[in-house]
Chain A
Amino acid sequence: MEKIPILRMDQFLLVTIQVDMHDRLAMALQDDLTKAISETEARGVLIDISSLEIVDSFIGRMLANIAAMSRVLDAETVVVGMQPAVAITLVELGLSLPGVRTALNVDAGMSVLRASVNGNGEAYGSRFI
Chain B
Amino acid sequence: MAVVSSETMPVQAEPDVVSVRRRVREVTAQMGFSLVDQTKIVTAASELARNTVIHGGGGTLHIESLNGPRTGLRLTFQDQGPGIQDVELALRDGFTTGSGLGLGLGGAKRLVSEFDIRSRVGEGTTIVATRWK
Contacts and interface: CB of A to CB of B under 8 A. Distances in A.
Verify that A and B bind, or say they do not.
yes
A53 interface: yes
A83 B22 CA distance: 17
A23 B111 contact: no
A88 B39 CA distance: 9
A85 B50 CA distance: 21
Q: How large is the interface on A (under 10, 10 to 19, 20 to 34, 35 or more residues)?
A: 20 to 34
A57 B100 contact: yes
A84 to B, nearest CB: 8
Interface string B93-133: 10000001101101110110000000000000000000000
Interface string B7-24: 000000011011001100
Tell me the interface secondary structure of chain A in the complex: helix
A57 B38 contact: no
B52 to A, nearest CB: 13
B36 interface: yes
Interface string B33-53: 001101110110011001000
B101 A57 contact: yes
B95 to A, nearest CB: 12
Contacts of B40: 88-89, 92
A92 B100 contact: no
Among A54, A60, A94, max chain B CB count under 10 A is at A54
Nearest 10 pairs between A and B by C-beta? A93-B107, A85-B39, A56-B46, A57-B103, A85-B36, A57-B101, A22-B18, A89-B39, A54-B43, A85-B35
